[in-house]
A and B are shown apart, each in its own frame.
Chain A
Amino acid sequence: MGWEPKIVVIACNWCTYAAADLAGSLRYSYPPTAHIIRVPCSGRVEPEFIVKALINGADAVLIGGCHPGDCHYRSGNYKALRRFKLLKRVLEELGIEEERIRLEWISGSEAKKFAEVITELDAKIRELGPNPIKRGV
């Protein structure tokens, strides 16, 4: 088997994780290249997690949280967004294409959106090719 993209998704339990479950129940299909690590809230995502995934060779990282105003813990998603923006700038400096890291607000009912985001991300990564770190840049 040739190269297949590997996507690490870190998703909040209340929204994006629930959306992924619902996508399954509704039998929406999307590429099997994305794998969710469940966290209570997108606010639990440390910048280090994203860096570690990329260094280890993940081709993309997706952070999923609740829509602004809907965070189960009031404001974790705003904090995630702030950290994410900062990290993204740093990673771009390091030559990692910005499309490889993504933050999405996907509510528990947005199963379709979840499937679409994964499908789109998978296609994008296939276009970009493997993570430059893995390619040994």
Chain B
Amino acid sequence: MAKIGVYVCHCGENVKGAVNIQEVLDFAKTLPEVVIAKDYQFMCSDPGQNLIKEDIKEGLIDRVVVAACTPRTHEPIFRKALEEAGLNKYFYEMANIRDQDSWAHWHDKLGATEKAKRLIASAVAKVKLAEPLEDRYQEAEKSVMVIGGGIAGIFAALDLAEMGLKVYLVEKQPSIGGNMAKLDKTFPTMDCSACILTPKMVEVGVHPNIELITYAEVEDVKGYVGNFEVTIRKKARYVDWEKCTGCGHCMTICPSKAPNEFNLGLNDRTAIYIEFPQAVPKKAVIDTDNCLYFKTLRKTGKVACKICEKGIPSKNIAGCPAEAIKFEDKDEFLTVKVGAVILATGFKVMEKHHFKEYSPNSPDVLTALEFERLISATGPTEGELRRPSDGKKPKSVAFISCVGSRDERFHTYCSKVCCMYMFKHAKILKEKYPDIDLYLFFIDVRTAGKDFEEFYVSTKQLGAKVIRGGRVSAVDIKPNGKLRIRAFDNDLCSPVEVDVDLVVLATAIEPGIDTEKLGRFFGASCGREGFLREVHTKLYPVDTASRGVFICGCVQGPKDIPESVSQAKAAAASAAATVMPGKIKFEAISAEVIRNKCSSCGVCVNLCPYNAIVLEEYQGIYKAKVEPALCGGCGTCASACPSKAIIFHGFTTEQILAQIEALTTY
């Protein structure tokens, strides 16, 4: 027999004003196994809690029901009181007689009192069948994997490393840096991107707590929070990075050319290449699609070229001075254990070919990212503004906003950074070439950010023309090589046409190609637009649906550098808070399979939203097993099991049936 104590709270007048307390107490005393029924003005106050604690300590009760407000706010408080009095905290139930009773039925005292009795009967019925439960703890790896080495991943990694945690930074490209490395200057402060980014990249490269794994991708993920096992594929580099000094000699002798991705194809690189001059790590790789040796080998089986290795002896040209070329290199796999993961794989920009109305085939129509490279000192023209078609300096440039953003045909969202980088571009050009004509076409101008509006105003003062009025309808190529923009000007209330030498399209920021796949590896889901989704926009902005997996930067949605860095720091703090204590708490409210009742049907396996259930061989038969650490605690499996072989602790079938019984009896 249980010894149940029922404690009815007046909550000042909040409950008492509608519920007849004495009647409820008298009723409670008649319920089976209830040995004490007391009331108090404020049960959650210290004297209120002490009432319960005293009764427990004196051995009068071993189960507690508090009839008061909502368990959503007060259950933890009373559970703690039980614990402090030496009783298992799960021997506790709450009857919600305020929020769901007195407040809602204030003018129906009789109804409110009757309902209070039934709610208490239901709580008593449930607590009677309560079992003692223990929160479980599992050891956690004190390490974090950061995936993606853009500005977001870099900052997350550095903060974690500074906290003394071991960090694995995994980057797909040969070098870290991401999209920011491609930018010339950065709004709103106009710092040169490389000047602020490169020192941080170097810091990552030399930090003793950071293991930098570039030119690598996630291949497989096992485990869960505290104990993820991530398998990484390190792509074959065909250059021994232990030996490569990054001198770049190979790039001066390699005869094969391919479009330079870092410059978005605006010029060529060699088949053996270092991604960009400030690369970290500064190491060469061979692109086998374009390398003459590999091409010939694939086609004819013969050995050719190898100039990077051997040089051209007849011309007295030496090969790699470090003897680092390694044609026989293979992909390598490595598995690391980490306690938490941060996904920071960023974004890609939409390509221009989608926009047939803007003459995408013209070399003088560029995306904004291509334009960044064109004006960058490390770009294909070393920062000289020249038209790709004829190499001449353009006298006029038009910028078009919202290309693919805020457009039902492509993306309904706003890419957020375009308005601002268009002003940045205008500013850079006007400062370099004061007599250039600039036309900036907007649907409307969005400058909601610190110092943004001032940035906009000062750009206009430099003489850039801002035209607002809906989407630009077309960019046509004129016979004289000019590009004609057709648009509408709201201020003039009329259509406008402008002929320019160069057009820059602010194409949308899109999720990277493998965002969804990566999310799936880690149980993090994508939103409608394909960016990884946070669990709660306000309360858990960098958490994903998968515990221990965090997100930051543009992989979560379009944002600028300051926001990406802030999120990165938030994600680092959250990941650290997860792994630092060295152990992870798992809720006692979870599912468990009673093995001998399991009929091996496997229904639960597919139902579980957390993939927490597996069929495991036991004495020659496959039986379901719930991995407690993965169980999210929804109870779906227990509800579906045809053999009733799954107990859902905290909300057992018997408990809920007893509540139904109570509610329908009284």
The interface of chain A, by Cβ under 8 A from chain B, is 6, 8, 10, 13, 17-18, 20-25, 27-33, 35-41, 43-46, 48-49, 52-53, 56-58, 71-76, 79, 83, 115
CB contacts (< 8 Å) of A52 on chain B: these are 657, 660-661
List 10 A–B pairs whose Cβ atoms lie within 8 Å, in order of A's numbering.
Answer: A6-B664, A24-B100, A24-B101, A36-B96, A37-B660, A43-B634, A49-B657, A52-B661, A53-B664, A73-B610
What A residues does B648 contact at CB under 8 A?
44
- How far in angstroms is the closest Cβ of chain A from B443? 29
Whether the Cβ atoms of A79 and B653 lie closer than 8 Å is no
Among A18, A38, A40, the residue within 8 A (CB) of B634 is A40
Chain B residues whose CB sits within 8 angstroms of the CB of A21 once the complex forms: 70, 72, 96, 99-100
Instruction: Give the CA-CA distance A48 to B653 in the complex, in Å.
Output: 9
Q: Does B556 contact A (CB under 8 A)?
A: no
Task: Give min CB distance, B135 to chain A, whole Å.
Answer: 16
A37 with B636: CB separation less than 8 A:
no
Contact across chains for A35 and B112 when beta carbons are under 8 A apart: no
Select the stretch in B114-122, B164-172, B395-403 that faces chain A. Answer: B114-122
Q: When the two chains form their complex, are residues A40 and B633 in contact, meaning their CB atoms are under 8 A apart?
A: yes
Instruction: Take A18-B72, A73-B609 as given contacts and tell me if A32 and B114 are in contact as well, using a CB distance cutoff of 8 Å.
Output: yes
Given the complex, which residues of A lie within 8 Å of B327, measured CB to CB?
Answer: none
Q: Does B659 contact A (CB under 8 A)?
A: yes
Minimum CB–CB distance from A15 to chain B (whole Å) comes to 11
Expressed in whole angstroms, the Cα–Cα distance for A38 and B663 within the complex equals 13
Q: By the criterion CB–CB under 8 Å, are B656 and A27 in contact?
A: no
With A24-B100, A43-B639, A53-B660 as known contacts, state yes or no: A73 contacts B111, CB within 8 Å.
no
Q: Is the CB of B653 within 8 A of A46?
A: yes
Q: How far is the CA of A13 from the CA of B651 in the complex (A)?
A: 12
- The reply to whether A28 and B104 contact each other, CB–CB distance below 8 Å, is yes
Given contacts A73-B636, A79-B640, 16 further A-B contacts (CB under 8 A): A8-B664, A17-B72, A24-B102, A29-B108, A30-B105, A32-B104, A35-B663, A36-B96, A39-B651, A43-B639, A44-B634, A44-B639, A44-B651, A56-B664, A72-B634, A79-B636
> Are A41 and B653 closer than 8 Å at their CB atoms?
no
Please report B residues at the A interface, Cβ cutoff 8 Å: 70-72, 96, 98-108, 111-112, 114-115, 118-119, 122, 525, 545, 589, 607, 609-610, 632-636, 638-640, 648, 650-651, 653, 656-657, 659-661, 663-665
Q: How far is the CB of B591 from chain A (nearest CB, A)?
A: 10
Roughly how many angstroms separate A38 CA and B651 CA in the complex, as a whole number? Answer: 9
Contacts of A23 in B (CB 8 A): 100, 104
Residues of B contacting A: mostly:
helix
Question: Could you tell me if A8 and B663 are in contact, using CB atoms closer than 8 angstroms?
Answer: yes
Indicate the member of B119, B122, B633, B659 with the most A CB atoms within 10 Å.
Answer: B659
- Inside 8 A of B665's CB, which chain A residues have their CB? 56
Which residues of chain A come closer than 8 Å to B115, judged between CB atoms? 32-33, 35
The CA of A25 and the CA of B103, in the complex, are separated in Å by: 7
Q: Do B656 and A37 touch across chains, with their CB atoms under 8 A apart?
A: yes
Write out the residue numbers on chain A whose beta carbons fall within 8 Å of the beta carbon of B96: 21, 36
B104: contacting residue among A24, A41, A49, A71, CB under 8 A: A24
A73 to B638 Cα, complex, angstroms = 14
